[in-house]
Structures are given as C-alpha cells and as structure tokens.
Structure 1
Amino acid sequence: MGLSLRDLQEALYEILGAVLSVNAINRITLKAQKQMFQSRQTRLEETPPILIVDGVWASVQCSSEDFWEDQAGHIRKLRHAEDRVILVAMAVWPDGTQTVLHYEMAPQESEAAWLLFFAHLWQRGLQPYSVKLIVSDGTTGLPKVIRALFPLAQHQRCITHKVRAMLRHLGYEQLPHLDAQGQELSHSEAKKLRYSQIKHDAYAIYKAPDWEEAIVMLLVFAQKWTDLEPDAVRTFIKDFALTLSFYDFDESLHSLIRTSNALERLFREFRTKADEIGAFPNEESCLAIFFLVSRRDHAKHDRLKNHGE
C-alpha cells in the first residue's frame, strides 16, 4: 500500500513483536498478485445493465536497450519511468450495487486500447446486448467504440466533466460590480461570483424531474448566459443530449449513473498510494496495488451501506 519493505517490516514489528523477513513479505505480495490475476480472469456469470468506464494514469519502470554498471561492477539494464493508464469498468446493478468488473493496463486511452479492453471482457463472458448504458467522460475514441460494440447501449456523458469543461471556457467579461447585498466587489471576488453562479445554474439543470424539463432549463440557461459567456455556453450545449441519458433509467439510480464519480473516488485513493510509491517497478505491481485499493474501497462501501441499513 505504498510502503517500502523496510517501512513494512517496522510497521509489522509494532504489531507482531518480531521482524518479518523479506521472503515472508514477498510471499504475501505474490499471494495478493495471484488473487489479482484470478479476479481479472474469473468468468462473468451475469452482465450488468450499466457500466461506468474511465482510466487512471500511473508511472511504471520500463527496461530499455541500454545498460549501466553499478558500484559492485554488475552490468544492469537501464530502466526509465513511463506513464501508463489503467482502464477500468465498474458495474452498476439494478439494486444500486457497484463493483469493479475489469481493469487492465494500456499505453494510452485510445480507440484501439478500448477495443482490446472490451474484447477481454467479452472473453470473460460479458454479453454486449445486455448492456443498456455506458457512463464515461469525454475520452477520445470511446464513443465510437461504444457505438460499434454495444448496439443497444446508450452513452451517458459524465455531467461533472461536462460542467468542468464549460468552466474552463469562462471569459469573465462584463463582470458585476456589486453583490446581491449591494456591496462592491473586487475583480477577483467578481470572478468567483461569476464562476459559482454559472456552475450552480448548470448543475440545477440536471435536477429537473425529467428530460423535457431539463431541455427547457437549458434554454433558460443559454438565454441568461450566452451574451456574458458565449464560449462557455457553446461548450456546454455541444452534445448536451448525451448528458441526459440517465433519465431513461430508474430514478433511484440517477445519482449513481449521471457521473463517473464512483470511479473518480476510487482513482483518488489509488493516486494517493501511487504518489507515495513514485514509479512502480513493473505493471504487475501497479495492478496489484489497484486491486488492493479497489478491494478496500468496496469493503468500506459495504460497511457504510450495512451500517446505514
């Protein structure tokens, strides 16, 4: 979980009262990796109706064709860190349960990488005609793959990513000089006010009771903000219908399927560990850490759910 062997030995010494050998720690690590491999190969007995897909980046040490000589005179292959992405699919079941279905490492989030990713899911037993919705951010190449491989599935663009993309295009022209109480605003305060107001109005659209009302609210939003923030509104309106697909599913699932936040939460946990480690020694160790983080996150989610019940 981001600890060096020495750190782990010291931590376990406080618990066990003895130093755990490096071989013992390696055996535990190999067992975790074995469970990770099994989890990614187990045949799927049922296909979830909804998938949330996204990728998280990590740094992995890779060998090169060059060599170097260490202090002991040994000739070793030169290694360097390269960025790799872990592609992930999370299942959302009709009762609202969420589980990590599949994950694998790829050199980049490309159309080819996603095609291979879903091909491996098919090999595990995923039925493409049983998938009704796929939730994702605006990853290039993925929409084309969804249309080609999942003919009956709708595409839900994450509303969080949609709003964030709009906010990046704010021009902050014609800023207000006074707040709602008539107090004078500084330039930075006026920018913050514009940012919070248009963000609030954008998210309010997705609280509409149905698709039709959301479109009406979008028209009101555009009328209010187009003259002040034309680039932001143009960005927000583009492909807007893709952010409303969640309305075709049970209302109890709306908060779970209109964003990719469930995966983003998991990715934040993984990034914390990845930052502590730096560059992983190989892809297997990187995937093993992701496996352990996802297992812990799932267990934590189950405890909270059971406690709430």
Structure 2
Amino acid sequence: MRVTSSGTAWYEETPPILIVDGVWASVQCSSEDFWEDQAGHIRKLRHAEDRVILVAMAVWPDGTQTVLHYEMATQESEAAWSLFFAHLWQRGLQPYSVKLIVSDGTTGLPKVIRALFPLAKHQCCITHKVRAMLRHLGYGQLSYLDAQGQELSLPEAKKQRYAQIQHDAYAIYKAPTWEGAVISFLVFERKWTDLEPDAVRTFINDAALTLSFYHFDESLHSLIRTSNAIERLFREFRTKADDIGAFPNEESCLAIFFLVLRRDHAKHDRFKNHGE
C-alpha cells in the first residue's frame, strides 16, 4: 500500500475505485468554562468529544491500494462527506473518472455519491451487510440436532443457526457471475424467510448495491466487495487510541493515524520485497 500526504499534494491521476470510511476517536476540546488549579491559575476547562477521521483509499487497476486523503470531522454526515470530497476535487481528483465507490452503510453517504460522482457505481461492503443481517436473527423454529444427529442445547442450536445463515449469505458473493449471485439471493430468500423473516428483510434491502463489484475485473473482486482493506488500518489505529484514551488535541490524533499508515506501508513493502 502506498501512502500519500494528507496535505496539499496534487493528484496526477484519478483512481477508478475509491474505498471510503471513517474511524472514531476521543479528543480533548476546550470549552467556554474555566477552573482554578491548586496554584491559583485560571485555566480553560477541557472535556473529551468524539471525532471521526474520514479516509479515502484508492484501488488501482493492478490492485495497488493508496491512502489518498484523510481529515477530521465531527460526524459522518452528508455535509461532512460533501466537504471531504470537495477537498479531493481541489487536489485534482476527477469525479467523472471514478467508476466505483466502496463503503459501509453510513447514513448520508449514498446521496453524496449519487450527487458528486454521477458515473460511479456504489458498492456496499458485504461484510457490513451480513453483520447487519445477523443482528436481526430471531432464532425461531430452531433445530436441536447437529449434522450428525446429536442433540444440541439452546445456545448450541443458536450458534448453529448463526453459522448456517452466515455461511449461506457469504456464499452468494462467491458466485462467478452477477447473474449467479442474483439466483443465489433468491434461493437464500426462499430458504430462510420463514425461519428468519426480519434478518432476511434486512439482508435483501438494497441488496443490488452489494453486487456492484461484479462489473469490474475478477482479479479485483476480493479487494472491492468489502471495505476490509481500510478496516485493517482502523483496527490498528483503535488499538493505539485505546491505549491513549482521549487525544490531547486533533493534531495529535491525526499524527498517530499517519504513523499507523506509515507502519502499514513499511510492513507491506517488507512483505513485497521478501516475496520478490
């Protein structure tokens, strides 16, 4: 993965695919209130507030991934994403050259994508889609026998249902073609609707947005049907953020995020050089 500065660098090329997402952190902010310390000094009262780092990662035709830009916002709103993409435009990104944008189910983002990237398809992360479905499981009409006919306890039966429907959901996206995936969706719906109506209803809502990756080269499918590439960076950042607690200011938060990017970049280069 290549990492570019989040400053004023000008983009000489526009990537055909963007993966966008945000990661939250706690930042100390000043308020209008004051307090007096033990030495009698009057200081501004500070308190922790949640902030989100919005991130755009490029995926190039050869599969190379590049973190293009990141910036801090107060929320993942339509206005915040619009401003974020406006900054990308100012640095040379050509909106009509972007063919696909991958994201999770962030509210407000789909409308921004439609408005600002008229030629781009929207790919909803299949991992987020499946996880959202699993949160709606009702565990009705459970089977208390496993595949070998052995009796199961209630927790074991629930675990079996969870594993079975999760397996069937992910299997849809292993179909070699878009048409095959659509057929798999219909089979899934027929199999599970009576048992898990709420989960299936959640899963099939806007299901077409999870199949946009089929319009691109098969070699890219594993990279663009999820936002996992960017989530990997977020997991490492969250580990650092948990150790720190509340960052003293926004600048320190962004500095740690940049160091996480650099570390991931270095690990990628070591792996690539070793492979060669």
Indicate the TM-score class for this superposition, using the shorter chain for normalisation: over 0.9
Identical residues among aligned pairs (%): 87
1:134-149 equivalence runs, <5 A? 134-149=101-116
> Is the 2:4–2:69 Cα contact (8 Å) retained in structure 1?
no
In the alignment, does 2:74 pair up with 1:74?
Answer: no
Alpha-carbon shift at residue 38 of structure 1 (Å): 5.3
The 3 A distance-change label for structure 1 pair 135 and 171 is same
Alpha-carbon shift at residue 39 of structure 1 (Å): 3.6
- In structure 2, the gaps of 5 or more residues are none
Alpha-carbon shift at residue 41 of structure 1 (Å): 1.6
Alpha-carbon shift at residue 53 of structure 1 (Å): 0.3
Query: Please, which of 286, 292, 301 is the counterpart of residue 253 of structure 2?
Result: 286
Alpha-carbon shift at residue 40 of structure 1 (Å): 2.4
Corresponding position of 1:301: 268
Alpha-carbon shift at residue 228 of structure 1 (Å): 0.4
In the alignment, does 2:243 pair up with 1:276?
Answer: yes
Corresponding position of 1:111: 78
Alpha-carbon shift at residue 299 of structure 1 (Å): 1.7
**Inter-partner Cα distance in structure 2 for 1:45 and 1:167:** 42
1:1-309 equivalence runs, <5 A? 39-309=6-276
**Superposition RMSD in Å:** 1.2
Alpha-carbon shift at residue 306 of structure 1 (Å): 3.0
**Inter-partner Cα distance in structure 2 for 1:76 and 1:37:** 38
> Is the 1:40–1:103 Cα contact (8 Å) retained in structure 2?
no
Q: List structure 1 segments (4+ residues) > 3 angstroms apart after TM superposition.
A: 36-39
SS in 1 for 2:19: strand
> Is the 1:83–1:107 Cα contact (8 Å) retained in structure 2?
yes
Larger radius of gyration: 1
* TM-score normalised per structure 1: 0.87
> Is the 2:4–2:67 Cα contact (8 Å) retained in structure 1?
no
Per-residue CA distance 1:191-249 (angstroms, 9 max, x = gap): 00000000000000000000000011111111111110011111111100000000010
* TM-score normalised per structure 2: 0.97
SS in 1 for 2:23: strand
Per-residue CA distance 1:131-188 (angstroms, 9 max, x = gap): 0000000000000000000011000000000000000000000000111101000000
Alpha-carbon shift at residue 307 of structure 1 (Å): 2.3
**Inter-partner Cα distance in structure 2 for 1:180 and 1:71:** 69
> Is the 2:6–2:71 Cα contact (8 Å) retained in structure 1?
no
SS in 2 for 1:41: coil
Aligned residues: 274
Report which of the two has the higher share of helix: 1
Per-residue CA distance 1:51-99 (angstroms, 9 max, x = gap): 0000000000000011111122111100000000000000101111111
**Inter-partner Cα distance in structure 2 for 1:53 and 1:39:** 15
> Is the 1:50–1:92 Cα contact (8 Å) retained in structure 2?
yes
The 3 A distance-change label for structure 1 pair 163 and 37 is closer
> Is the 2:5–2:69 Cα contact (8 Å) retained in structure 1?
no
**Inter-partner Cα distance in structure 1 for 2:187 and 2:224:** 25
> Is the 1:99–1:298 Cα contact (8 Å) retained in structure 2?
no
Alpha-carbon shift at residue 37 of structure 1 (Å): 11
Q: What is the letter of the counterpart of residue 94 of structure 1?
A: P
The 3 A distance-change label for structure 1 pair 230 and 297 is same
Alpha-carbon shift at residue 298 of structure 1 (Å): 1.7
The 3 A distance-change label for structure 1 pair 45 and 242 is same
> Is the 1:70–1:76 Cα contact (8 Å) retained in structure 2?
yes
SS in 1 for 2:7: helix
Per-residue CA distance 1:21-59 (angstroms, 9 max, x = gap): xxxxxxxxxxxxxxx995422111111110000000000
